[in-house]
Structures are given as structure tokens and as C-alpha cells.
A and B are shown apart, each in its own frame.
Chain A
């Protein structure tokens, strides 16, 4: 972003890096028709996973991020594309509808208690929304062994993924 002032810096993230094993977790995974508990390891058993932590559904960064990833056809690669936010399954259904993702191979984990972000070292406590924390924007590409192949987490707030880097990492694992 090109602003005339410094944006807010976040503390150094402590997320898993390339070569680390991505923490496994189980949360409701939402598609355009239903949701059910799914483990990350179930997804990686089927192939590489592109995992996108994003601000709560309805916040403009969530809208921008999913418009961009949709328009880049990230799900056309041989990877499983999943988002994760603190929004409820009902809100994810709305996001899928509003971002026009119903016919796409993109699903969303729901984690209102923000426990997955804690496991991944990317908790973002929201100023002015007492009691609410969410993941800071972060993108991971995780291979079949659940090894992290690519990791990025915001160190400013707000911040957006490096889409080119992320897409290149997705292309590498899906070759």
C-alpha cells in the first residue's frame, strides 16, 4: 500500500516455516451445500493444500483476498484450496455465495475460538473489539506429508498476501 504514514506493525510472527510440519487441526469445513468436521491431515492425504487465513467474513480484506484468489483460478491447480477465519459456518456460506465460489473447488474452515491461529502463532487481537481475536492474514502451502512448502504471515495490520509468491508456490507443489 502507498500511504503517507506508517501502518501498524505487528509483533514478529512465530508461525511454522518452510520445512516444518504444519500443525494438524479439525474444524467444520464449509462448502456451498453443508459443513462437516474435517482434519487438515485428511486434506493433505489427498494432495497439497493451500491454506489461507483471512480476516472475518464481511471485512473488506476477506472480500479482496477471495476476489483475487478466485480471479487467479488458484483452485484450478492440483491443490486443495481452503480458507480459514473466525466466522461461523453460516457466514462462510454467505461468503461463498457473495464471492461467487459455489462452483469452485474452495472451502472454508470455521474457527470462532481462534484456536488454529494460536497453534500457528498468528493470533491478531483486534483493537476495539474486546474479546475477539482472529488470525492475522497468512498463507501456507502444505504438501502431502504436511510439510510446509511456503509460509507467509502479515507483519503489519492491515496487510495482504503476496499473491504472486503464493501462486508460484502452489504451482511448484502441483507440478
Chain B
């Protein structure tokens, strides 16, 4: 399998996570799903990446961005991929090229 740049830490059936998934699909972005435990105290892997134990969290290796909170993530994805209806692959390449 290819190694997608975006990793999504998610909890099964979490509506905030599904909201992010819908946005990732909307922009046809490749991502890797990592499912974590319902118990916050068992989510050290999320804490190590983001500093918090809440999900969703995305890690975008293209931009070096790690982000929690679904509203923030949706805003971020809209900002990086949503402008002018550019196609997701092109947006990815642009972001990577800028190294922002």
C-alpha cells in the first residue's frame, strides 16, 4: 500500500471524526486511519503527537501540521484544498512545494 501523507487518529463512531472523514473524502485526499481506545487515559499515542488526548487529530506530513479539534481541521482542509475548487492532488503538490 502507498504511504499517505495524512494520518487521522480517530475513534470508531465518533461524530467529530466522521465529520473530518467526510471532508477528507470531499477533497479526495489519501489518508491513513489509526483507531484509538474509547478511554482517554489509553490514548498516549494521540497525546504524544498532539499534546491532547482528544480525537480527531490529523498529522499532515506534507505541511508538518498536527491539529486537533474537528472544526479547526475542517477549516484547515478547506484552506489548503478548498480554494477555487483546485483538484486535491494539485493542492497537495502546491502545499508540499511551498514547504509551509
Contact = CB atoms under 8 A, between A and B. Distances in A.
Contacts of B28: none
A34 B34 CA distance: 6
B35 A89 contact: yes
Contact of B33 (A26, A37, A93): A37
B32 interface: yes
A36 B1 contact: no
Contacts of B34: 34-36
A126 B7 CA distance: 38
A42 B45 contact: no
A39 B3 CA distance: 12
B52 interface: no
Contacts of B32: 36-37
A103 interface: no
Kindly state the interface size class of chain A when it binds its partner: 10 to 19
Interface residues of B, number: 12
Chain A interface mostly helix, strand, loop or mixed?
strand
A28 B36 contact: no
Interface string B26-46: 000000111111000011110
A40 to B, nearest CB: 11
Contacts of A38: 1
A35 B45 contact: no
Interface string B70-97: 0000000000000000000000000000
A33 interface: yes
Interface in A1-52: 26, 28, 33-39, 42
A33 B45 contact: yes
27 contacts: A26-B1, A28-B35, A33-B36, A33-B42, A33-B43, A33-B44, A33-B45, A34-B9, A34-B34, A34-B35, A34-B36, A34-B37, A34-B45, A35-B34, A35-B35, A36-B32, A36-B33, A36-B34, A36-B35, A37-B1, A37-B32, A37-B33, A38-B1, A39-B1, A42-B1, A89-B35, A93-B37
Given A26-B1, A28-B35, A33-B44, 8 more contacts: A33-B36, A34-B9, A34-B34, A34-B35, A34-B45, A36-B33, A37-B32, A42-B1
Interface of B: 1, 9, 32-37, 42-45
